[in-house]
């Protein structure tokens, strides 16, 4: 809006954030954004001395997160998993990461799912009828944990934002998955030798704010959605919250934060054991990845 003045510095302002009752100039917006990340990290007890491996997909969230961590003085390295998704999606992801990391001199490693477990997401989709996003979800989770330990890091930063967290909470409430409430926290510490701590530095920031951040800092993330994301239920929960947010600005934020306020920081679950096949941390005897692999190889049917 023309003539509007920045809530912080009274300069010309154009970035309106209704749920914060604020309008910012570019500089104050960037400051606000960095502060939100710094506040999260402070809550987690991480400092720039904590070496962080950063999970990067090439999308807006992971690149924005990486950029702020770097600005805050963290020593980081990117970790990317090439899922082998068709339509050039995985190739474009790697290109977006390279475009970001190379001029900033940020190191990153990439591991291919196919080379690691023998199957790409495309292969798995051809061979099973399971919902691909749920399979992809647990594969990424285990691979990221495993590779973080292999890369000799103890903490992994992932780019989940406020919309992701609020959508996940709504999904768990709708399905009454109360046992998942315990795990829903932006920081999961770990002293397990095969499980890194997992932190979500962007959990206080909304998708729209992250989009603005990328535009203001000239970050060019991969802007396509994964071609397999259509019909993913997680998107529907986020859309439902957007509908409410539109009519009642601040709803998303209130919904997530009022839930988190009542929670204590979780500790490592004492029930966690190890998979009898691969040794990875899991509940029960066999981990989801080994069960999937059995099924793909046509061994004892699940």
By CB under 6 A, name the binding residues for ligand SF4: 121, 132-133, 136-137, 226, 228-229, 232
Pair type for strands 273-274 and 281-282: antiparallel
Residue 6's binding partner, choosing from ligand SF4, Zn ion, none, with beta-carbon cut-off 5 to 8 A by kind?
none
Q: How far is the CB of 47 from ligand SF4 (least distance, A)?
A: 31
Residue 133's binding partner, choosing from Zn ion, ligand SF4, none, with beta-carbon cut-off 5 to 8 A by kind?
ligand SF4
Residue 290's binding partner, choosing from ligand SF4, Zn ion, none, with beta-carbon cut-off 5 to 8 A by kind?
Zn ion
3-state secondary structure of 203: coil
Question: CA separation (Å) from 96 to 43, 56, 118?
Answer: 30, 10, 25
Q: How far is the CB of 140 from ligand SF4 (least distance, A)?
A: 7
**Nearer CB in complex with Zn ion: 41/287:** 287
Q: How far is the CB of 224 from ligand SF4 (least distance, A)?
A: 11
Q: Which residues pair with 109 in a beta bridge?
A: 79
For CA atoms 246, 137, 133, 130, the dihedral sign is negative
Show the tokens assigned to 234: 């997680």
Residue 132's binding partner, choosing from Zn ion, ligand SF4, none, with beta-carbon cut-off 5 to 8 A by kind?
ligand SF4
3-state secondary structure of 16: strand
Q: How far is the CB of 184 from Zn ion (least distance, A)?
A: 24
Residue 275's binding partner, choosing from ligand SF4, Zn ion, none, with beta-carbon cut-off 5 to 8 A by kind?
Zn ion
**Nearer CB in complex with ligand SF4: 138/257:** 138
**Nearer CB in complex with ligand SF4: 52/81:** 81
Max intra-chain CA distance, the chain: 69
Q: How many residues does the chain have?
A: 302
**Nearer CB in complex with Zn ion: 43/114:** 114
Q: How far is the CB of 287 from Zn ion (least distance, A)?
A: 3
Q: DSSP for 62-75, please give it.
A: HHHHHHHHHHTT--
Q: How far is the CB of 57 from ligand SF4 (least distance, A)?
A: 7
* Other Cβ atoms closer than 10 A to 100: 24
Percent helix, strand and coil across the chain, each to the nearest 5: 50, 10, 40
Question: CA separation (Å) from 217 to 30, 60, 106, 157, 296?
Answer: 9, 12, 16, 21, 44
**Nearer CB in complex with ligand SF4: 68/136:** 136
**Nearer CB in complex with Zn ion: 69/292:** 292
Q: How far is the CB of 300 from Zn ion (least distance, A)?
A: 14
Phi, psi of 288 (to 5 degrees): -60, -35
Tokens 């979780």 map to which residue?
266
Q: Return residues touching Zn ion (CB under 5 A).
A: 275, 277-278, 280, 287, 290
Residue 116's binding partner, choosing from ligand SF4, Zn ion, none, with beta-carbon cut-off 5 to 8 A by kind?
none
């Amino acid at each position: 809006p023309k003539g509007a003045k920045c809530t912080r510095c009274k300069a010309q302002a154009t970035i309106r954030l209704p749920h914060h009752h604020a309008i910012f100039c570019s500089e104050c917006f960037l400051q606000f954004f960095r502060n939100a990340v710094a506040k999260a990290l402070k809550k987690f007890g991480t400092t720039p001395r904590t070496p962080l491996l950063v999970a990067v997909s090439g999308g807006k969230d992971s690149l924005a997160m990486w950029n702020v961590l770097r600005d805050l003085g963290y020593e980081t390295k990117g970790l990317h998993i090439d899922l082998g998704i068709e339509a050039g999606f995985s190739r474009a992801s790697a290109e977006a990461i390279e475009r970001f990391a190379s001029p900033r001199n940020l190191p990153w490693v990439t591991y291919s799912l196919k080379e690691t477990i023998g199957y790409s997401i495309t292969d798995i989709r051809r061979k099973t009828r399971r919902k691909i996003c749920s399979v992809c979800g647990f594969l990424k989770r285990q691979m990221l944990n495993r590779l973080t330990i292999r890369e000799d890091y103890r903490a992994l930063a992932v780019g989940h934002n406020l919309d992701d967290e609020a959508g996940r909470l709504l999904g768990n409430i709708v399905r009454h998955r109360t046992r998942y409430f315990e795990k829903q926290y932006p920081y999961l510490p770990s002293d397990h030798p095969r499980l890194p701590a997992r932190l979500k530095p962007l959990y206080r920031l909304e998708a729209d704010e992250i989009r603005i951040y990328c535009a203001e800092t000239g970050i060019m993330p991969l802007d396509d959605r994964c071609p397999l994301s259509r019909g993913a239920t997680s998107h529907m929960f986020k859309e439902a919250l957007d509908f409410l947010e539109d009519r009642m600005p601040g709803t998303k934020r209130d919904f997530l934060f009022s839930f988190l306020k009542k929670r204590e920081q979780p500790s490592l679950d004492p029930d966690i054991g190890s998979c009898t096949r691969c040794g990875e941390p899991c509940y029960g005897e066999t981990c989801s990845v080994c069960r999937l692999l059995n099924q793909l190889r046509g061994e004892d049917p699940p």
